[in-house]
């Protein structure tokens, strides 16, 4: 091999190693034109360092976390992808502990690898695969389904929230996507969680449930659909200077929606208007919390205490 060819090859190999977090596979080096003797020569000279059979660290033996992930994926074959907790960590949605690097392959792994847990996934679709920082990994939707299989309720909720915050997938889209994975492990916990996250009452049902809590809190009948401080609000008590807004989704708000919500809240604060914000899911599934908040707010803004008989009379008269 001439010097110019050697330099070109070295540049290609180093560029590949750079993109793969300091790791290359023997099959990749051979595909670049390196001979078996050339691979062995570089091993003998300390330019390559064996991570596992057929997988090498380039230049120095120490690997970053992403380098270890890359090595595990390369070691499981060209069809392997990072999955489960390791995929969640790479995508930024899972920040908990991981005892082993988890890899999914479409076939049985021929050998065990220390520190690597391999899942045989013959039904893993091409659409379930993506690349993140040059590492083959399951897509955000597939990753969250897999996390539903291995995480408890609270860590799974945090992962879904992070995926939404990072704009990888929002709860509504995720819930709709689950229909394409019938019978998959992890679907049940996700459906239960997302059923609350994207839950939305009809306007009439929301108003009926919320006003029942308002009555119990002793706030009196609010006005609905009023313009206050330049914004149309859901519920307003002019005598108390109190606004209550109800959001349909607990976690997912687009940046534009979030910006409008901040402007609304800032306008109410600047005008000295007390304001609360509840979700439809809180009204439906956490009425005790909503009632306690309304009751505390009623005391703070000076709503006069009312007897139960008086409250019922007011509500019947619609005053």
Cα separation, 10 vs 19, in Å, equals 14
Summarised one tens digit per residue, pLDDT across range 121-142 is 888 889 999 999 999 999 999 9
* pLDDT at 23 exceeding the cut of 90: yes
What integer is the mean pLDDT of 22-47?
Answer: 92
Q: Which of 210, 227, 228, 206 is closest to 219 using CA atoms?
A: 210
User: According to the model, what pLDDT value does residue 201 have?
Assistant: 74
Summarised one tens digit per residue, pLDDT across range 70-86 is 999 999 988 999 999 99
- The CA-based angle 118-119-120, given to 5 degrees, is 120
What integer is the mean pLDDT of 87-110?
Answer: 89
What integer is the mean pLDDT of 41-70?
Answer: 92
Summarised one tens digit per residue, pLDDT across range 219-228 is 888 998 899 9
CA dihedral angle for residue 138, residue 140, residue 141, residue 143, rounded to 10 degrees: 50
What is the distance between the terminal CA atoms of the chain, rounded to a whole angstrom? 94
Cα separation, 98 vs 85, in Å, equals 6
Pair of tokens at residue 130 = 């993506």
Pair of tokens at residue 302 = 């000076």
- Band (pLDDT 50/70/90 cuts) for residue 319 is very low
Q: Which of 91, 247, 169, 199 is closest to 178 using CA atoms?
A: 169
Summarised one tens digit per residue, pLDDT across range 2-12 is 444 444 457 78
Is there a contact between 198 and 252 (Cβ–Cβ < 8 Å)?
yes
């Amino acid at each position: 091999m001439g010097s110019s060819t050697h330099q070109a090859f070295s540049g290609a190999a180093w560029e590949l190693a750079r993109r793969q977090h300091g790791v290359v596979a023997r099959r990749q080096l051979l595909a670049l034109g390196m001979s078996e003797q050339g691979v062995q020569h570089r091993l003998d000279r300390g330019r390559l360092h064996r991570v596992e059979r057929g997988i090498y660290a380039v230049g120095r033996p120490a690997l970053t976390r992403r380098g270890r992930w890359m090595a595990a994926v390369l070691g499981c074959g060209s069809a392997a992808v990072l999955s489960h907790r390791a995929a969640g960590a790479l995508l930024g949605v899972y920040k908990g502990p991981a005892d082993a690097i988890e890899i999914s392959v479409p076939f049985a792994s021929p050998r065990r690898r220390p520190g690597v847990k391999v899942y045989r996934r013959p039904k893993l679709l091409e659409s379930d695969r993506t690349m993140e920082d040059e590492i083959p990994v399951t897509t955000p939707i597939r990753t969250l389904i897999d996390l539903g299989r291995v995480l408890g309720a609270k860590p799974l909720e945090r992962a879904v929230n992070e995926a939404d915050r990072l704009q990888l997938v929002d709860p509504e889209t995720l819930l709709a996507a689950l229909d394409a994975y019938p019978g998959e492990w992890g679907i049940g916990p996700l459906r239960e969680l997302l059923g609350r996250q994207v839950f939305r009452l009809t306007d009439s049902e929301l108003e009926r449930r919320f006003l029942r809590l308002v009555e119990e809190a002793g706030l009196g009948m609010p006005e609905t659909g009023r313009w206050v401080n330049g914004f149309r609000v859901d519920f307003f008590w002019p005598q108390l200077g109190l606004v209550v807004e109800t959001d349909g989704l607990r976690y997912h708000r687009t940046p534009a929606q979030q910006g409008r919500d901040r402007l609304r809240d800032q306008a109410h604060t600047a005008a000295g208007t007390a304001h609360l914000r509840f979700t439809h899911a809180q009204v439906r599934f956490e009425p005790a919390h909503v009632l306690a908040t309304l009751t505390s707010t009623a005391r703070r803004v000076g709503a006069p205490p009312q007897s139960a008989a008086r409250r019922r009379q007011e509500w019947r008269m619609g005053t």
